[in-house]
Amino acid sequence: MEGILLLLVFIAAAFFLKKRGNRLFKKDPILPTGQRLSEVNAMRDLAIRTGNSHIAPTSKKTQSNIKTSIARPEVGPKKDFDQPGAWEGSFWDVDLPKSVSAVLQLDYIDGKGQRTNRTVDVRQFGRYGNGCLLIGTCELRKATRTFRTDRIKECVDTETGELIENVQKYLENKYNSSPEAKMNNLLFDEFDTIRALYYIGKADGRLTKREITIIANTCRDMSNESKITDEIVKKTITGLDIPSAQAFKMAITRISKDGMEKLERLHGAAKRIIETEKTIHSSEQEAIDYIEKRLSKLVASERV
């Protein structure tokens, strides 16, 4: 009899703990809903694109979720791993992959100890364990392959003839001087402005080529980098979540705290976006009205 009573007590305790755990789980700030979820997604996108993980939510569980949600490029069919010149590592395992354009001549020893000389058109690279993994088109195999930098015995940039001693550092420097890196840095510095312009561009349900050009011109002006192309800007902003109306207003409020110049620049770009169409969508009108409302408050505060 005592055994049955103990079993019933155990079952009741387990049921209580489960319900209590569910309630705690629902209240967990790292699993938000509605507007908060949109903000976390935006921060996740920015952290991934810029490599600045400190701007993401600080919870270890949230950062773990961010890391595992990073989108990866193609890794090739599984059968490739059984073919000659097999892949040297999965690019899915690369931490914070970066795009780069470089044609490298490699003296390479693969995992089986076979030594080959290859020309590789490198597309991306990233941290892989304690080293670096790069991915690109191998001319020898006429297919996409990955290569570990610790297995490269000699490397030459075919465009410049430069003998590269540290491949990872060389690719990092090449990436950092690229317009893609400049755009990522700008996204980190001017996240609210870029996201607000994206919201206005999509307010009528579509983002036209002319609107992208206006946003790109604003990005080039803010970064003082003429090599940032419309295509780079399009790829960057369309990879973000579209802000809600509330998130847009919150962004405008933050921008207004930075001073008149930033808000006026945003206002000018927003008006040019709206003027690309003959008719103004109601969401566009509400957006421009809110910006002008914040501008008016700034002007009034400066007069006091």
Q: What is the CATH number of the domain that holds 265?
A: 1.10.3680
Query: To which residue do tokens 């790829």 refer?
Result: 235
CA 15 to chain centre: 42
145 with 191, same domain: the answer is no
Cα(186)–Cα(225) distance, rounded to whole angstroms?
Answer: 10
What range does the domain containing 104 cover?
78-176
Q: Which of 144, 176, 208 is the last residue of a domain?
A: 176
Q: Which of 150, 176, 202 is the last residue of a domain?
A: 176
The answer to whether position 291 is within a domain reads: yes
Cα(169)–Cα(152) distance, rounded to whole angstroms?
Answer: 14
The answer to whether position 57 is within a domain reads: no
Q: Are 200 and 284 in contact (CB under 8 A)?
A: yes
Q: Are 158 and 103 in contact (CB under 8 A)?
A: yes
122 with 204, same domain: the answer is no
- Looking at residue 276, the DSSP 8-state letter turns out to be T
202 with 250, same domain: the answer is yes
pLDDT at 30: 33
The answer to whether position 170 is within a domain reads: yes
CA 129 to chain centre: 21
Write out the E strands in the chain.
95-109, 115-128, 131-138, 143-148, 152-157, 163-164
The answer to whether position 160 is within a domain reads: yes
Q: Please name the helix (run of DSSP H) or strand (run of DSSP E) that holds residue 193, with its range, or none.
A: helix 191-201
Q: At a CB cut-off of 8 Å and minimum separation 6, what does 98 contact?
A: 51, 124, 125, 126, 171, 172, 175, 181
pLDDT tens for the chain, 304 residues: list them.
666 666 666 666 666 555 444 443 333 333 333 444 444 455 545 554 444 433 444 344 434 443 333 334 444 433 343 344 455 777 777 888 888 999 999 999 998 899 999 999 999 999 888 889 999 999 999 999 999 999 999 999 999 999 999 999 999 999 999 999 999 999 999 999 999 999 999 999 999 999 999 999 999 999 999 999 999 999 999 999 999 999 999 999 999 999 899 999 999 999 999 999 999 999 999 999 999 999 999 988 877 6
183 with 145, same domain: the answer is no
The answer to whether position 34 is within a domain reads: no
206 with 292, same domain: the answer is yes
198 with 293, same domain: the answer is yes
Number of domains making up the chain: 2
252 with 149, same domain: the answer is no
| Residue 122 CB coordination number (10 Å) | 20
The answer to whether position 23 is within a domain reads: no
Determine the 3-state secondary structure of 7 from DSSP: helix
Percentages (nearest 5) of helix, strand, coil residues in the chain: 55, 15, 25
**What are φ and ψ of residue 136, in 5° steps?**
-175, -175
The answer to whether position 292 is within a domain reads: yes
123 with 96, same domain: the answer is yes
Q: Are 131 and 149 in contact (CB under 8 A)?
A: yes
Which amino acid belongs to residue 283?
S
184 with 298, same domain: the answer is yes
193 with 298, same domain: the answer is yes
196 with 299, same domain: the answer is yes
135 with 186, same domain: the answer is no
Q: Which of 159, 176, 193 is the last residue of a domain?
A: 176
The answer to whether position 13 is within a domain reads: no
Does this model's pTM top 0.85?
A: no
How far from 192 is each of 42, 72, 91, 189, 253, CA to CA, in Å?
10, 26, 31, 9, 10
